[in-house]
Chains A and B, each alone.
Chain A
Amino acid sequence: MFEIPDDRKYLESHEWTTTEGDAVRIGISDFAQDELGDVVFVELPAEGDELAAGEEFGVVESIKAVSDLYAPISGTVTAVNEELFDAPELLNDDPYGDGWMLELEPADESEFDDLLSPEEYREQTE
């Protein structure tokens, strides 16, 4: 069974969001990291970049696969987890904690309504 914490929302393409003060933190799910296997490379946008909901914002690569990353909501990038560049294995070890990818200042709070609840995401992965 894969961990799907109740304190966040999910995208069909396996990204998660959680609110950290004014910012929205984004990463990929436990299910996604397990499917990928050993992650060896992550490419992320820069601070200040504007993302639109559904837009490709980066790439995560394991030894066996390349997977695009999609923005769950629109917003401006306010922080990037640069530790992932030197230690991409954090995505395998702690996908909901130290393996976070970036933080956004959300442009439109109503977009959260389009995301999957933990229950809905769990159904998708089963």
Chain B
Amino acid sequence: MGLRKPPLYDVHADAGATFTEFGGWDMPVEYDSIKAEHAAVRESVGIFDVSHMSELEVSGPDATALMQRLTTNDVTALEPGDSQYSAIVNDEGVIIDDTVVYRLPDRDERVYLFIPNAGHDEEMYDRWTSFRDDWDLDATVEDVTEDWAMFAVQGPDALDSVTDAAPDAALGDLSKFQATFADVVGVECWVARTGYTGEDGFEVLCPWDDAETVWSALDATPCGLGSRDTLRLEMGYLLSGQDFDPETEPRTPYEAGIGFVVKLDTEFVGRDALERQHEAGVDETFVGFALLDRGVPRHGYDIATPDGEVIGVVTSGTMSPTLSEPIGLGYVPVEYADDETEISILVRGREKRAVIVTPPFIN
């Protein structure tokens, strides 16, 4: 099967992007320099094509019940135009994917749009429709992944960029995690004050066929998935399929450090398992670390005690472009999770000294 392509594939190729496979999509990884793109987002503003993200819309009389029972956060807390970070877990409480759930303006009933990660659209469509049928709920589930292009405009100057393209929308009035339909150069877009970089910013969903009009109206440095990864890593944000994965890195929200999205006073698949873990406490937890010796930590490297006893594994690592220091994320037993705890990372079989640092790594 061929790779899926974002609507602006040719635009990115003409701009000199190199591409990488991610979640079954062929996406720009870098235009010119990951470091320069990273710096643009930290210092001014960058724009990412994230059209590979999945989108599913859930509507109908039982839309709220279905969303509530398949995500860990409390969707009943959402007003139209609100959004929340959430987790989708299995019966054992293990994270299948993380997502942002938006409540769209009502259409007689409540309507939700949620954004699973790249390549998860079919799996989530199947999950939502099969549980809907099992529970005999009246809800419509649509996979709208290829109806919407999605761009992330991120950085301290992001508000200026989106306001230039949508001067009538008062996007500066949106609080973090709020969203609205807005006219962006004549195209109706769903614009949310959300992101994955730690900077102020907006995510703009626009109709797939209008992608080029909207992209070219947003004045910002084009950025690829390479800098998206280094930016989120500096914040300690989880990457689905890498920092957690139901097959290769099965972790609960409590282990992964996102217990704040679990609302045990709601009913959802996996709730009982998570309640038990919440009472018992976790054995291992997600941490950040900084390498003190020269080297670059990478996914899959072992984490060890200073004496060389292996205690965990690196799930993500890089040379921080902001700090010019090697940083990483991974899981360790809770007794090694306090700040400043000395550990070591086995880089190609050699021990490198490191210390636990609770993310974010930057201020």
| A-B pair number, CB within 8 angstroms | 35
Q: Is the interface of B mostly helix, strand, loop or mixed?
A: mixed
Are A64 and B295 neighbours in the complex by a CB distance under 8 Å?
no
Chain A residues lying within 8 Å of B226, measured Cβ to Cβ, are: 37, 63-64
Nearest A residue to B30, CB-CB: A37
Which residue of the partner chain, among A41, A43, A63, contacts B230 with CB atoms under 8 Å? A63
B16-57 vs A, CB cutoff 8 Å, 1 = contact: the mask equals: 000000000000011001110000000000000000000000
Confirm or deny: A105 has a beta carbon within 8 angstroms of a beta carbon on chain B.
Answer: no
With contact pairs A61-B296, A85-B294 given, residues A40 and B319 touching in the complex (Cβ less than 8 Å)? yes
Are A41 and B34 neighbours in the complex by a CB distance under 8 Å?
no
Nearest A residue to B326, CB-CB: A41
Nearest B residue to A40, CB-CB: B319
Number of residues from B at the complex interface, CB < 8 A:
16
Chain A residues lying within 8 Å of B230, measured Cβ to Cβ, are: 63
Confirm or deny: B298 has a beta carbon within 8 angstroms of a beta carbon on chain A.
Answer: yes
A59-73 vs B, CB cutoff 8 Å, 1 = contact: the mask equals: 101111010000000
With contact pairs A37-B226, A40-B319, A41-B319 given, residues A63 and B34 touching in the complex (Cβ less than 8 Å)? yes
Chain A to chain B contacts (Cβ below 8 Å), 20 pairs: A38-B33, A38-B321, A40-B296, A40-B319, A41-B296, A41-B319, A43-B294, A43-B295, A61-B296, A62-B34, A63-B34, A63-B35, A63-B226, A63-B230, A63-B321, A64-B29, A64-B30, A64-B34, A64-B226, A66-B298
B→A interface (CB under 8 Å): 29-30, 33-35, 226, 230, 294-296, 298, 318-319, 321, 326, 348
Q: A38-B35, A41-B295, A66-B298 are in contact. List 4 more A-B contacts (CB 8 A).
A: A37-B226, A41-B326, A43-B294, A63-B318
For the complex of A and B, the 10 pairs showing the least CB-CB separation, nearest first, are: A40-B319, A38-B35, A63-B34, A61-B296, A41-B296, A38-B34, A38-B33, A64-B226, A37-B34, A63-B318
